[in-house]
Structure 1
Amino acid sequence: MKNELKNQLRQQDATALAQGYSPAIRAMEIASIVSFIGLESALVWRLWGNAHTGPWLVLSALLLGYLAADFVSGLVHWMGDTWGATDMPVLGKAFIRPFREHHVDEKAITRHDFVETNGNNCLVSIPVAILAVALPHTSASWVFVSAFLGAMIFWVMATNQFHKWSHMDEPPALIGFMQRVHLILPPEHHRIHHTAPYNKYYCITVGWMNKPLAMIGFFPAMERLITWATGAIPRKDDIGTEAALELFEATAAAEPPVVQAAKELLEATTADEPKPVSPVRPS
């Protein structure tokens, strides 16, 4: 089924997609990076020296923010891969185009500079950064929420840089070590996503959330819900109508791995149960 589906993929031209990166988009990305750095600096200044800020609070906010960023990266990645089209006004060229380009030329990201790699993530993080700075820091709870939001968007900002390193043939030595111990996105883990038709392992900050989300069938369930509500076919613009329809039908019929495992366990338990023996009346 996978080979047949791969033969039906109808992806867009990599050169045309790359040319969609316009001077206007670059200017927007530069402004977003400057704004993001300014807001994160303001947040650090507000948290620094606050009576409610402590080392354990900061460490827990950083770790939970890392997990949250991994999930957010998967959600945004899934949306960019699955819905919309490159010819949509504003969103098409600025947000959807990079996802489509990455599937037809996955090494393109290694040729992007810092602005093109990280500008989009800074842009989408700005509203959360404003919220984190604006929150009152009058209690440990508020400080934690603010620190968590600031940590999450910091890791969201770093996500495309981690993603870029996972596609480099020879990343810096320290980065290679962090990949091997799975502190950032490892190339072999991310390679699962780059297997046609590109419908799994969307989380690209570190990838820790990929397996749990796959086990419960999170993204296929979201796709069925959106298709039921709107009639839109997932991945139609990315891989072509024929392949998208066949893939949607196949995933709709499949059960989440956790459900399959539960059924197998139930069947095995039932099979091992001793059958009741009919009582024999004495003669």
Structure 2
Amino acid sequence: MRMPTEPSDLVHFESTLEHRAWVYGTMGLLMGSVGIAGTHTDSPGEVLALLASCVASYYAADFVSGVVHWGLDNYGDGDTPFFGSQIAAFQGHHSEPWTITQRAFANNVHKVFKPATAPALVLLAAAPFTPSWLTTFGASLLLLLCLSQQTHAWAHKKPSQLPAAVLALQDAGVIVSCKVHGAHHRPPFEGNYCIVSGVWNPILDGNGSDQGFFRRLERIVQAATGVKPRCWTDPEGFAGAPEGDQDT
């Protein structure tokens, strides 16, 4: 495992103006959508629906983060159209997992916020015309998915490196902990993909059974396309996949 040896090694981990623009601009769009939804909420029932949609988005985000993580880890490469840079970053993360702990916030998350900008714009434009609970669910889900890259980064840090509030959330199981996510980094990297809270991991993994959700899904993909997932064919752990350049 290569570690940085010179200050110049760390320059690629700093946040740039472009990184911040993608991250905070998209956050603003999503928060604007929720703000519009709030202005359309009048009755106690609507408020309750709004709160329920937030809770539902939290659990949905963990599920979706696992499915996306599974797909990026196991299929395609850096040359894959549209998703190549994300695939390279996720697959390369297994060979150099330390890099995620060195990146500044916007540097770390901008590549997931960037493709989220278009759906965030759609949510904002549609907010005055859609049910408040639906707008809130969509915006909250998208925001949590984008921020999952930061909960992922925290899950790679030592407890002594984390703010007390983050450590408390990990200990309470609200966000994924180092212990839970650490199980994913054991070759052949075939489980524990969820990186928001990790609550879906034992369910989707089927407790290691061949009948788990991902194992079934892999067999379906293989039957339909003939393509085997990387966790079947690269048990050494993505040895040839350096982490993608997050500054591109």
What displacement does 1:191 show? Answer: 1.2
Q: Which amino acid aligns with 1:148?
A: F
Q: State the partner residue of 2:244.
A: none
- Mapped partners of 1:214, 1:138: distance in 2: 39
Q: Which amino acid aligns with 1:229?
A: A
Q: State the partner residue of 1:165.
A: 154
What displacement does 1:158 show? Answer: 1.5
Query: Which stretches in structure 1 are left out of the alignment for 5+ residues?
Result: 1-11, 245-283
Q: State the partner residue of 1:155.
A: 144
Q: Which amino acid aligns with 1:47?
A: A
CA contact (8 A) 2:63 2:194 kept: yes
Partner SS state of residue 48, structure 1: helix
Q: State the partner residue of 1:105.
A: 96
- Mapped partners of 1:90, 1:14: distance in 2: 30
- Mapped partners of 2:133, 2:82: distance in 1: 35
What displacement does 1:178 show? Answer: 0.9
- Mapped partners of 2:193, 2:73: distance in 1: 9
1:145 to 121, 134, 153: 134
From the CA coordinates, give the structure whose radius of gyration is larger: 1
CA gap of 1:134–1:90, structure 2 versus 1, over 3 A, is: closer
1:129 to 104, 108, 120: 120
TM-score, normalisation: structure 2: 0.78
Report the number of matched residues. Answer: 224
Q: 1:55-87 deviations in whole A, cap 9, x for unaligned?
A: 322321111000111011111101110000124
What displacement does 1:177 show? Answer: 1.1
Partner SS state of residue 100, structure 1: helix
1:50 to 9, 15, 40: 40
CA contact (8 A) 1:162 1:205 kept: yes
Question: 1:77 aligned to 2:69?
Answer: yes
- Mapped partners of 1:89, 1:22: distance in 2: 24
**Sequence identity of aligned pairs in percent?**
27
Q: State the partner residue of 1:255.
A: none
- Mapped partners of 1:163, 1:55: distance in 2: 31
Superposed CA RMSD: 3.2
Question: 1:207 aligned to 2:198?
Answer: yes
1:179 to 153, 164, 170: 170
1:68 to 60, 68, 71: 60
Question: For structure 1, which segment, 98-107 or 159-168, has the greater mean C-alpha deviation from structure 2 after superposition?
Answer: 98-107
Query: Which stretches in structure 2 are left out of the alignment for 5+ residues?
Result: 239-248
